[in-house]
Amino acid sequence: MLALCVADVVESAGCIVAGVAGTVVEALAKVASCPFDVALLDLHLHGRTVELIAAAIKASGKVAVVSTGADALSLPAEIRLWPVLHKPYKNDELIDALARAASMSNMERQ
């Protein structure tokens, strides 16, 4: 339910939501099959860590915003450079983080 609320916020900002995933398996399938510019990745998805998803996003040449209640130093090393969205966050913080990630993604493509 929370993911759908976040998707509504993102869509209201003019973005297109390519998909919502509730499990690691679903997320990996989305990364592989849905075109996207930026991902929003909760550090823990139903109690599971998301290193496999992060690796797939990174391998695709994309960037994600990492949502977490933990501090940035506790993030896996391979995603520490991605924008971090600390919970709880406000809608405008979410949109700003996605914009930063999109900017990073565009720089990586050049």
- The pTM for the full model equals 0.88
pLDDT in tens, 51-92: 999 999 999 999 999 999 888 778 888 888 999 999 999 999
Residue 6: which domain range? 2-109
3-state secondary structure of 11: helix
Distance, CA of 16 to chain centre: 14
Average pLDDT over residues 37-55: 90
Q: Which helix (DSSP H) or strand (DSSP E) does residue 42 occupy?
A: strand 38-42
Full strand arrangement of the beta sheet holding 38-42 = 38-42, 63-68, 84-86
| Six-digit token string for 45 | 């998805």
Our count of domains for the chain comes to: 1
Find the CATH number of the domain harbouring 37: 3.40.50.2300
